[in-house]
Amino acid sequence: MKAYLTIDDAPSATLGAKLDTLTAHDVPAVLFCEGRRLADNRELAARAVKAGYHLGNHTHSHPRASAITEREFERELARTERHIDDVYDRANASRPARLFRFPYGDDGGDRSERFQRVLREHGFVGPERADTADTRYDWSWTFDIADWQTDDRAVLRENFEATASDAARGDEIVLFHDAGNAPELFAAFVGWLADSDLDPADPLELLP
């Protein structure tokens, strides 16, 4: 079984230490970035790209899609896209694909088809998975230990073990967060992932 690590709410001011952890364990990842965080931590994001990690769009200000209009959604996308393109330019690297994740996993509710159309029209690509019947242009997840709910390492470990025990169904798209997590807690999580029966792999393998 493969584990495709995706990290939301990047880049935080502590991303540098977290990149060191990922590199030490040889764990690939996609960083889903907020535009406002990219504006504050542009050089850290460029360091991530230079190290071989990929940047995805997580909107500019992290709104719930069901609470904004289609036009506002497009503006959120566009502002963040400009920051991401600038980071790749700074890193002198080619961007492999446009990836997007909805904040909170809120895909717009009753208007989800309209938001999917916006993503398609702007060239975003979702993962190709055998367990997904419909074509989608955003990235969801299948492995979530609710790290935003606790900073207690023991509780997080329990969550990880419980989630990993249910992971026998196949490859997993793993969710963790950058902002709000101390480097030490992030390092513990990456260590558990690297030592588990899940084999960390590049999320771009999932592209169609």
pLDDT tens across 87-120, in order? Answer: 999 999 999 999 999 999 999 999 999 999 999 9
Here the tokens at position 16 are: 């540098």
Q: Which amino acid is at 140?
A: S
> Distance (Å, rounded) from C-alpha 100 to C-alpha 158?
29
pLDDT value, residue 133: 61
pTM of the full predicted structure?
A: 0.95
Where on the phi/psi map is residue 180: left (φ > 0), alpha (ψ -120 to 50), or beta?
Answer: left
CA–CA separation, 186 vs 181, rounded Å? 6
Which residues, including other chains, have CB under 8 Å from residue 130's CB and lie 6 or more apart?
170
Listed residue (207, 134, 203) closest to 173, CA to CA: 203
Mean pLDDT score, 125-145: 86
d(CA 183, CA 105): 24
Q: What is the mean pLDDT of residues 185-198?
A: 95
Mean per-residue pLDDT over the chain, rounded: 95
Structure tokens at 164: 């990993």
Strand, helix or coil for residue 42: helix
Confidence tier at 166 by pLDDT (50, 70, 90) = confident
| Pairing mode of beta strands 54-57, 143-144 | unpaired
Handedness of CA 30, 31, 34, 35 (dihedral sign): negative
Confidence class for position 131, pLDDT limits 50, 70, 90? low
